[in-house]
Amino acid sequence: MDALHEFLSGPALYVTLVIFFGGLIIRAAFLLGLSRGKDQVFYDHFSWSWALRSVLAWLLPWGSRSLRTQPLMAIVFFLFHLCLLATPIFLSAHNILWEGWAGWSLPTLPGIVADVMTLVVLGGVVFLFIRRLVRPEVRLISTLGDYLLLLLTAAPFATGILAQYQIGGPYDLMMVLHILSAEVLLIIIPFSKLGHLILFFFTRAFIGVDMGARRNCQGRLGAKVW
């Protein structure tokens, strides 16, 4: 078990990070090149102001009309994504590892805050899973892969908190499962719907420029459906 842990936290982690960052960069570059070839009118009307307004409207819990019509969904989405990104980045244990590699670390979250944020992520996964089952319009477009992605997203957080409090199995086993599930998730992100981690910004910028700068749909920030 120790050898497997060392492998996963060493060579396998380096390969995982290369695939994760490289995959996101390549996918974004490919789509950008494809867009330049087919959507030149977008670039003819490009406006940083409209692009940023659209992105910002969807980064705020109720920044757009679409989100304001679903207030519960808006706050769940906001808290879920905030905790999903911030918890692993600012977790104390992760920053200790990062400091050992890079010689410096980011600010860290208090333990209790990290635990609460982990539970928010897990609760968000349960909410989104049930939503796909009970909302007909969402269930219609949901595939088995969508449910599996939700479970895979929850796995590193579930195994991490179980390992911390030594629940559900031996600590060493839970830590191996934690690292393994996290690395599988990172590898899958660039090649799945989870790639919206970065593609979100391109999509919202495109819609903002198209609806604002090109079609001249004026209005206050987030006042339009888009």
Would residue 167 count as lying in a domain? yes
What count of other Cβ atoms lies within 10 Å of the Cβ of residue 92? 13
Structural domain of 59: 2-214
**Closest-CA residue to 33 (of 19, 21, 43):** 43
pLDDT at 220 over 50: no
Would residue 131 count as lying in a domain? yes
pLDDT at 222 over 50: no
Would residue 26 count as lying in a domain? yes
Would residue 223 count as lying in a domain? no
Would residue 80 count as lying in a domain? yes
Alpha carbons 209 and 205: distance in angstroms, whole number = 6
Would residue 219 count as lying in a domain? no
Alpha carbons 60 and 55: distance in angstroms, whole number = 9
**Higher pLDDT, residue 223 or 76:** 76
Alpha carbons 64 and 50: distance in angstroms, whole number = 14
If you compute the radius of gyration of the chain from its CA atoms, what whole number of angstroms results?
Answer: 20
Which ranges constitute the DSSP H helices of 39-140? 40-44, 48-59, 65-68, 71-90, 92-102, 111-134, 136-139
Q: Degrees (nearest 5) of the Cα angle 167, 79, 204?
A: 135
In the prediction, which pLDDT does 127 show? 94
In the prediction, which pLDDT does 179 show? 96
Which CATH number covers residue 178?
A: 1.20.950
**Higher pLDDT, residue 47 or 96:** 96
**Closest-CA residue to 226 (of 210, 33, 194):** 210
In the prediction, which pLDDT does 83 show? 96
Would residue 222 count as lying in a domain? no
Would residue 73 count as lying in a domain? yes
**Higher pLDDT, residue 51 or 163:** 163
Number of domains within the chain: 1
Taking the alpha carbons at both ends of the chain, their separation in whole angstroms is: 50
Total-model pTM: 0.84
In the prediction, which pLDDT does 149 show? 96
Do residues 42 and 208 make contact, with C-beta atoms less than 8 angstroms apart?
A: no
The first and second tokens of residue 186, run together, are 């990172």
